[in-house]
A and B are shown apart, each in its own frame.
Chain A
Amino acid sequence: MEFLTISLLNGVSYGLLLFMLSSGLTLIFSMMGVLNFAHASFYMLGAYLAYTIASKIGFWPALVVAPVLVAGVGALVERFGLRTVHKFGQVAELLFTFGLSYLIVEGVKLVWGLAAVPYAIPPELNGALFKVFGSEFPKYRAFMMLISVAMLAALYLLLTRTRIGLVIQASLTHPEMVEALGHNVQRVFMLVFAGGAALAGLAGMIGGNAFVTSPSMGESVGTIVFVIAVVGGMGSLPGAFIASLLIGIMQTFAVTIDASLSDLFSLAGVAVTDNTAMSSLLRMPVSQVAPILPYLLMVLMMILRPRGLLGKREG
């Protein structure tokens, strides 16, 4: 019970963090048709900027400044990069962000070095928030959940209740009409791209010190975010939400489970011996398979339901 509660809480906080990333990716994709490969690089950039700024002016001001800086970088990328390649089509845009992700990683290595930086949790958020059956739930995890939920609520309100949100929504489906009504759709695109980058930056800011801030941090989370977008259904925000939580919880549970398929067979009365075909595969504990579980989920989804959980049917 104790294991279940703690793992579930950890899984939800990780899932919410993933959703902060995948929501930006999904918004940018559904609006501009651009799959932003550099999205995870913005996540990394957010963590590194947060590390530097927090060491200068403290954690709390950095919480605002770092994402704003990342948003600025995002706006520049859209204005001077993406808009130039837009006329060459989707593949060129995708490849541009792909090359950009290289450049950001190499740039970060140049500025902050190859090793991980000691980006620490602020002292007032250190320690346990409460105890469940003797196990501690860290304060910082709760803080992460709080920030993510607050951010997502703000995003929801912004998109549905404000004027600019309505313009963004209208630009998603009817860009020409919105343009005809006198709105600058190009600027809306820039805003959305910057906003998505800011979300990724904020996720990096609060995720960087919970995990590790290193040049490879974007790489490991980037493909997971893509898997979420595919599993949830391309361009579907609710789908991305469900998939984020699903994968967050699944990954958290999987790394702690020591059972293997052979245990399942022995429950059914079938013993796995050295002579059984693929015995090493059957005896592999779930925790060891954990890294590939999201991809297996994606492959299953592609076979059973190619459009994803809540995606629209193609064509």
Chain B
Amino acid sequence: MKPLIQASAGSDMQRRGLLQSAHSLRWIIWGATALVMLVLPLVFSSGFAIALLSQIGIMIIFALSYNMLLGQTGMLSFGHAVYSGLGAFVAAHVLNQIGASHFPLPVSLLPLVGGFGGMLFGVLFGYVTTRKSGTTFAMITLGIGEMVAASSLMFPGFFGGEGGVPTNRTVGHAVLGITYVIALWCLVSMIAMYAWTQTPLGRIANAVRDNPERAEFVGYNTQRVRFLVMVLSAFFAGIAGGLSVIDFEIVTAENVGAAQSAGVLLATFIGGGAFFFGPVIGSVLFVLFAVALSNLTPAWLLYLGLFFVLVVMYVPGGVSSLLMKQVPLIAARKLHRMLPSYAAVLGAAMMVLCALVLTVELVYKLQIDSDNGTAMRLAGLSFDAASWAPRAVAAMLWVLGALASRLAAARLRDAWDRVQREIAGSNA
């Protein structure tokens, strides 16, 4: 018995130490997040960068609220924009009331109004959608999303018809700049949603995700858990909607549309739902994709779709899972052993990417944009899309890229296996 007790005491000590270091690590991470939010708008202060940062901040809240459903409770929703969008409409109407001085409320607190608006509709629609789980839930959320989008043109009083509901945020006195209002709400929402994952409801949500039958058997009503999570998630989605009202000063039917719902799903999944910070990474990538790439090429949806499908097929845990796989390597000080094969894979991927971009842009120019002539510019080079040279280059890039990716993938697999074996060996 004695060694056992000693061992457990030792591990207890160890655990306490680990807990303490995890605790201080948490403070460091949140402090760093706050610092980044404080500094970024100062460093990138051009109008475009500020607009981009604001959108990223809003998207982070939205994607994290979506991940309460997808990542924490295992509910795949195709209509999450309903809650952010309707929350935004409520917030816009309240903002107009504030402007007409019928309603005393600081504009900085407007996202809260959006949150409660989203929550209200979360209670309403959540009652219907959460009666089912799994695939059926996904289909019903899609139907609800379509219903709200279709009715947005039927109720011009609330949705503002085709033109949407315009507002004016410059009522009352500004305490902070818009960017910092968004940053502050983003930080507060992130902390609140992280804290939620530590509550009993957050834990039970994980149980409902992993094994609903067992959760039911232990005595929890899974339908009720799904409903509560849905309402909370709708609240945070509404906060994102309220912030978008302050940021854009207009809400249109697009805010409740299917494209918006698909966007938050893509952002969350690309980032990865298994880790709390996954959707944060996903939001940054998604906004960069959507804003930066849509300025560069009209085929950006194709690229985004391809990227998404590749993530689903080969990295189903998202970018965050890819990052977290490196943590044991760093701990074992073996990351440098992987770097050459990572570089090889990156090089091969770049080659395939160049081939893809060249092909897509060529086809696009010839099929859709040929009225303006077939001359085009890509990456600083001018050429004629109808001539054979760019096609030959594209074909060559495809062949080289395919070969290189085969080699690089094999090399990566070898190196990975070897390093994993070494780590397992040193632990044993």
Contacts from A to B (Cβ < 8 Å): 29, 33, 35, 81, 84-85, 88, 90-92, 94-96, 98-100, 102-103, 106-107, 109-114, 219, 223, 226-227, 229-230, 234, 280-281, 284, 288-289, 291-292, 294-296, 298-299, 302-303, 306, 314-315
B322 beta carbon closer than 8 Å to chain A: no
Asked if B157 and A280 sit within 8 Å, CB to CB, the answer is yes
Q: 12 A-B pairs, CB-CB below 8 angstroms?
A: A29-B135, A33-B135, A100-B309, A103-B306, A107-B302, A110-B360, A110-B363, A230-B140, A230-B143, A280-B157, A298-B140, A298-B143
- Which residues of A lie under 8 Å from residue B129 when comparing CB positions? 302
Asked if A99 and B308 sit within 8 Å, CB to CB, the answer is yes
Q: Is the interface of B mostly helix, strand, loop or mixed?
A: helix
A113–B370 Cα distance when bound, in Å, is 11
Given A90-B134, A110-B363, the answer on whether A291 and B308 have CB atoms closer than 8 Å is: no
A227–B316 Cα distance when bound, in Å, is 28
Please tell me which stretch of B147-155, B159-167, B335-343 contacts chain A, meaning at least 4 of its Cβ atoms lie within 8 angstroms of it: B147-155
Contacts from B to A (Cβ < 8 Å): 74, 76, 128-129, 131-132, 134-136, 138-140, 142-144, 146-147, 150-151, 154-155, 157, 213, 258, 262, 265, 269, 299, 301-302, 304-306, 308-309, 312-313, 316, 360, 363-364, 367-368
A112–B366 Cα distance when bound, in Å, is 11
A302–B126 Cα distance when bound, in Å, is 12
A226–B157 Cα distance when bound, in Å, is 30
A220–B399 Cα distance when bound, in Å, is 39
Which single residue of chain B is at the shortest CB-CB distance from A229?
Answer: B139
Which single residue of chain B is at the shortest CB-CB distance from A297?
Answer: B143
A181–B128 Cα distance when bound, in Å, is 44
Q: Measured between C-beta atoms, what is the minimum distance from B23 to chain A in Å?
A: 33
Apart from the given pairs A289-B154, A298-B143, A302-B129, 12 other A-B contacts in the complex at a CB distance below 8 Å: A90-B134, A94-B135, A96-B313, A102-B309, A103-B309, A219-B258, A223-B142, A230-B139, A280-B157, A295-B146, A295-B150, A306-B131
Asked if B135 and A99 sit within 8 Å, CB to CB, the answer is no
Q: Measured between C-beta atoms, what is the minimum distance from A232 to chain B in Å?
A: 12
**Shortest 8 CB-CB distances between A and B: which pairs?**
A102-B305, A295-B147, A99-B309, A106-B302, A88-B316, A291-B150, A99-B308, A223-B146
Given A110-B368, A114-B368, the answer on whether A295 and B269 have CB atoms closer than 8 Å is: no
A92–B135 Cα distance when bound, in Å, is 11
Contact of B147 among A100, A102, A284, A296 (CB under 8 A): A296
A292–B312 Cα distance when bound, in Å, is 32
Q: Measured between C-beta atoms, what is the minimum distance from A107 to chain B in Å?
A: 7
Q: Is the interface of A mostly helix, strand, loop or mixed?
A: helix
Asked if B305 and A106 sit within 8 Å, CB to CB, the answer is yes
Q: Measured between C-beta atoms, what is the minimum distance from A36 to chain B in Å?
A: 11
- Which residues of A lie under 8 Å from residue B299 when comparing CB positions? 106, 110
A306–B370 Cα distance when bound, in Å, is 52
Asked if A85 and B316 sit within 8 Å, CB to CB, the answer is yes
Given A92-B316, A103-B309, the answer on whether A292 and B363 have CB atoms closer than 8 Å is: no
A289–B143 Cα distance when bound, in Å, is 15
Asked if B150 and A292 sit within 8 Å, CB to CB, the answer is yes
Given A84-B313, A95-B269, A107-B302, the answer on whether A292 and B151 have CB atoms closer than 8 Å is: yes
A99–B301 Cα distance when bound, in Å, is 11
Q: Measured between C-beta atoms, what is the minimum distance from A159 to chain B in Å?
A: 23
- Which residues of B lie under 8 Å from residue A295 when comparing CB positions? 143-144, 146-147, 150
Asked if B142 and A96 sit within 8 Å, CB to CB, the answer is no
Given A284-B154, A292-B154, A299-B128, the answer on whether A96 and B309 have CB atoms closer than 8 Å is: yes
A227–B79 Cα distance when bound, in Å, is 14
Asked if A292 and B368 sit within 8 Å, CB to CB, the answer is no
A107–B134 Cα distance when bound, in Å, is 30
Asked if A111 and B313 sit within 8 Å, CB to CB, the answer is no
Q: Measured between C-beta atoms, what is the minimum distance from A110 to chain B in Å?
A: 5
Q: Measured between C-beta atoms, what is the minimum distance from B133 to chain A in Å?
A: 9
Q: Measured between C-beta atoms, what is the minimum distance from A302 to chain B in Å?
A: 5
A107–B128 Cα distance when bound, in Å, is 36
Contact of A90 among B135, B151, B265 (CB under 8 A): B135
- Which residues of A lie under 8 Å from residue B128 when comparing CB positions? 299, 302-303
Q: Measured between C-beta atoms, what is the minimum distance from A38 to chain B in Å?
A: 11
Asked if A91 and B76 sit within 8 Å, CB to CB, the answer is yes
